[in-house]
A and B are shown apart, each in its own frame.
Chain A
């Protein structure tokens, strides 16, 4: 069995006629939080979509938990949160979660537990479109957490969140990883990079570095990850 949770090999993806991923290869370790860092437009979302199996790919292979990405067996084991919250705006938080819980066949108690994890107890019976942007993205995150998936793919989950909540969510990510889950979390802000166990730095559809934050600092001799990324980007 493959030790890596995700193995991407020579992946090529075109979107709108343009090559977004010109041939990317990478591995993501099991049971840790891996950060996918890079500027907006560097191909993070496309890579994540390919890993989840919703992206039409041109060439290359993507293996997830030992199966080809998008395999029906993975639909229960992979949780995906898109950048824009994808939940029903005209239902309440609890109604949204109840629907997705019934699709995943998870017990009702799990709904209340998940609402608590994303700190939405007070808003649980509020209709989603009346919530703030940050609250809405937490509803979206909650639906992905419901089934306690083995792999969580989170596209910029902490954008626009209150710093306290952001810290708590990162603690949740690490707790899930400690319990055995694998997390791939994208971000375009470098201060989140330090919170990850492993980093994948991406630029123009290519991985420019893949290592733990400390190793990247050491390798570049930079004082912080922002300057390390700059040094790596210019070297490539």
Chain B
């Protein structure tokens, strides 16, 4: 791994995103607008908005970066740029870290904008500090990025890649505890929920916004999310082949 190449890759990915103004607008504007929508749909039920709103701030980056990365990597595969990169003195880790750096930055900005709107304008309350919510949002963005990278290897068209989003993300949101507390689910669903990374991401966010203490509970959830990021990155790296059929 070479810092020069990692940084060049991150700069290149950011430059590509900057060219795509419409995607940037969607990434930065859609989450706060959706939160505002939640706020007014649950008008008069502040408890519901407080329970769901905080975790949502941190979950949007997961969805955005999952989508952006799976399409970006699919393009690298189908346009031959990945094959070119693999025939150059670039380590797979340079490519992965470059993407992580670029999308981590975008996610931090996205979460900052969403948090500012949510906690500043929409009156959302968080027991824990806002920086913690933003930090967790960045961790979730990396989780989304790593999963998107891995799954892009199984899509041959952009249509397929886009369909992976509901297939992978919605079950995790349903089972993660955001809509219904996990304790109220049937036992097999709880088992399923136990192995899904978003469950731990949600627990960490719920803890940060409702309890707010920096305790062992939070640390365990963050550690599990980090472990999933590393596993997904390793699986993603395994799909980057120097030689193909």
Contacts and interface: CB of A to CB of B under 8 A. Distances in A.
Given A55-B244, A82-B80, A89-B79, A103 B87 contact: no
A54 interface: yes
Interface residues of A, number: 31
Interface string B9-37: 10110011001100000000000000000
Interface stretch (A72-80, A176-184, A213-221): A72-80
Contacts of A16: 245
A53 B81 contact: no
A102 B5 contact: yes
B3 to A, nearest CB: 11
Given A91-B19, A100-B88, A103-B89, A53 B243 contact: yes
Contacts of A82: 80, 83-84
A95 B15 contact: yes
A86 interface: yes
Contacts of B88: 75-76, 100, 103-104
B126 to A, nearest CB: 37
Contacts, number: 75
B243 A102 contact: no
A226 interface: no
A15 B245 CA distance: 6
B80 A84 contact: yes
B240 interface: no
A75 B89 contact: yes
Contact of B83 (A54, A103, A143): A54
A90 B20 contact: yes
B96 to A, nearest CB: 15
A56 B244 contact: yes
A86 B20 CA distance: 19
Interface string B209-245: 0000000000000000000000000000000001111
Nearest to B91: A72
Interface in B81-104: 81, 83-90
16 contacts: A52-B87, A53-B87, A54-B243, A55-B243, A56-B244, A56-B245, A70-B243, A75-B89, A76-B88, A82-B80, A82-B83, A84-B80, A86-B79, A89-B79, A91-B15, A103-B85
Q: Which 9 A-B pairs have the closest CB atoms?
A: A86-B80, A102-B8, A75-B89, A99-B12, A86-B84, A90-B19, A56-B243, A90-B16, A56-B245
